[in-house]
Amino acid sequence: DAGVIQSPRHEVTEMGQEVTLRCKPISGHNSLFWYRQTMMRGLELLIYFNNNVPIDDSGMPEDRFSAKMPNASFSTLKIQPSEPRDSAVYFCASSEDLGTRYEQYFGPGTRLTVT
């Protein structure tokens, strides 16, 4: 299997621009997670889906952030408008299902820089 696929791998944008990050989970996995990693705050869960339905979005920092999962093989995380403090590495992860017995597999991440 190709693992979790994220695109783009690097994104540089100017403040105020819209940014869309994309994720393709592992085939057959029913759960998908979006994380953000920074030096100051570490790895934080933003939102997660099960069977394409958002379960918990309490980690989404502001209304500028939104996420969708239109089907089992694709999800997007959108930031509009972007700000310099959004600069971070964004990871997507997937698992077979929710629960402790299902390990999460992480993608390679998207490094976002907002200038």
Partner 1 sequence: EDQVTQSPEALRLQEGESSSLNCSYTVSGLRGLFWYRQDPGKGPEFLFTLYSAGEEKEKERLKATLTKKESFLHITAPKPEDSATYLCAVQGTSYGKLTFGQGTILTVHP
Report the relative pairing of strands 42-50 and 105-106 from DSSP bridges: unpaired
Report the relative pairing of strands 10-13 and 110-114 from DSSP bridges: parallel
Question: Looking at 22, 52, 54, 106, which residue binds partner 1 (CB under 8 A)?
Answer: 106
Q: Which residues, numbered 45-64, are part of the site for partner 1 (CB under 8 A)?
A: 45, 48, 50, 55-56
Residue 44 or residue 83: which is nearer to partner 1 going by CB?
A: 44
Residue 10 or residue 85: which is nearer to partner 1 going by CB?
A: 10
- Tokens encoding 52: 């394409």
The yes or no reply on residue 108 touching partner 1 (CB under 8 A) is yes
| Residues of the shown chain interacting with partner 1 in the complex, contacts defined by CB under 8 A | 4, 31, 33, 42-45, 48, 50, 55-56, 91, 93, 95, 98-101, 103-109
